[in-house]
Amino acid sequence: MEKRFKVWVYKEGEPPLFHRGPQKNIYSSEGQFIDEMESPDQKFAAPHPDEAHAFFIPVSITNIVHYVYDPSHRDFGRERIQDLVEDYIKVVANKYPYWNRSGGADHFYVACHDWGPFATQANPKLFKNLIRVLCNANVSEGFIPTRDVTFPEVKVPPVNLNPPDFNRSKSTLAFFAGGAHGYIREVLLHHWKGKDSDMQVHEYLPKHVSYFEMMSRAKFCLCPSGYEVASPRLVESMHMGCVPVVISDAYPLPLGDVLDWTKFSVQLPVEKIPEMKKILEAIPMEEYLRKQREVWKVKKHFVLHRPSQPFDVFRMVIHSVWLRRLNVRLMQL
């Protein structure tokens, strides 16, 4: 793949809705990917669309929400996102032969905003083959693991590209801090908030307490879904040497094509939240240490580099797109 796979980035569209995305904070994986894909020295860039194996649609759903919607009027309809993306596809489909010859099966876009999946829902016939690279990879909302790609959510800090690396001695069993966003977190907070010193579960930390310091001192980092399935805690926990505990429904884990998450995480059904301490304490120390070693090994696949480097998160996502592209047979032009 590294030597052969080429991607054409469509030039149509104007910033900031196209060709530009957020570079920092919660949805920044989206913007970082768009920017990397369009960098002048991008090794996967096809010099001409006829030489491309796949086609990238450089839309930023996050920027559409930011620039087009008016939250002061509780403007939450999805129609404008859907219309903008559908109009863009019609432009490139009328201008070039590539969409029509594959029915969009060799095309992809990336989105980390919660509304990313909704961009294609208004016209399922048009988008039935399109590869969607989504942070909000919710099977119950139409995510198809054999066609779509789960994008790891990286919350890019104000300085640097990745969370800090801490390697502290582990003095607590488990840690979580976050708002009661969604029913899974509500259940977690109900059962464990302030209930047990070994289970450091907080809704909000005091201002003088370091989130990453607390995370780095836990053996297990709890990563429950919020309003949507994805959580940047999966990646943050890896930087802390903390074994992630995934608490989610209908969430195909990132890079699951090539990574075995059972080796470096604990996957806990929501209904087992009341029994969580007993489950974590029952994991033998040898197994825990093995998982922790695997966390340090796989962390490189969830790290952002600019420019990208072999095996980092950008290359791994491109690899996932390439795997899906292999299944596409093109019609003769």
Q: Which amino acid is at 293?
A: R
What average pLDDT score do residues 79-95 get?
96
Q: What is the pLDDT of residue 93?
A: 97
Say how far apart CA 247 and CA 274 lie, in whole Å.
12
Q: How would residue 331 be classed by pLDDT, with cut points 50, 70 and 90?
A: low
First and final C-alpha spacing in the chain: 25
Say how far apart CA 177 and CA 170 lie, in whole Å.
17
DSSP string, 90-141: HHHHHH-SHHHHHTTTTEEEEE-STTGGGGGTT-HHHHTT-EEEESS--GGG
- Helix (H/G/I), strand (E/B), else coil: 261: helix
Q: What is the pLDDT of residue 75?
A: 66
Q: How would residue 327 be classed by pLDDT, with cut points 50, 70 and 90?
A: confident
Tens digits of per-residue pLDDT, 9-54?
999 999 999 999 999 998 999 999 999 999 999 999 999 999 999 9
On the question of pLDDT at 5 being above 50, the answer is: yes
Question: Which of 8, 118, 113, 103 minimizes the C-alpha distance to 53?
Answer: 8
What average pLDDT score do residues 146-163 get?
94
Total residue length of the chain:
333
Q: What is the pLDDT of residue 30?
A: 97
Separation of CA 269 from chain center: 20
Residue 96, φ and ψ in degrees, nearest 5 = -130, 160
127: burial class by Cβ within 10 Å (0-12, 13-18, 19+)? buried
On the question of pLDDT at 299 being above 60, the answer is: yes
Say how far apart CA 88 and CA 82 lie, in whole Å.
10
Q: How would residue 333 be classed by pLDDT, with cut points 50, 70 and 90?
A: very low
Average pLDDT of the chain is 94
Contact present, 195 and 243 (Cβ < 8 Å): no
What average pLDDT score do residues 45-70 get?
95
Q: Is 43 left (phi over 0), alpha (psi -120 to 50) or beta?
A: alpha
Q: What is the pLDDT of residue 159?
A: 87
Q: How would residue 328 be classed by pLDDT, with cut points 50, 70 and 90?
A: confident
Looking at the chain, list the stretches that DSSP marks H as alpha helix, in order from N- to C-terminal side.
28-37, 61-68, 79-95, 98-102, 124-127, 183-192, 211-216, 233-239, 276-281, 285-298, 313-325
Q: How would residue 306 be classed by pLDDT, with cut points 50, 70 and 90?
A: very high
Q: The dihedral of CA 124, 126, 129, 130: what is its sign?
A: negative
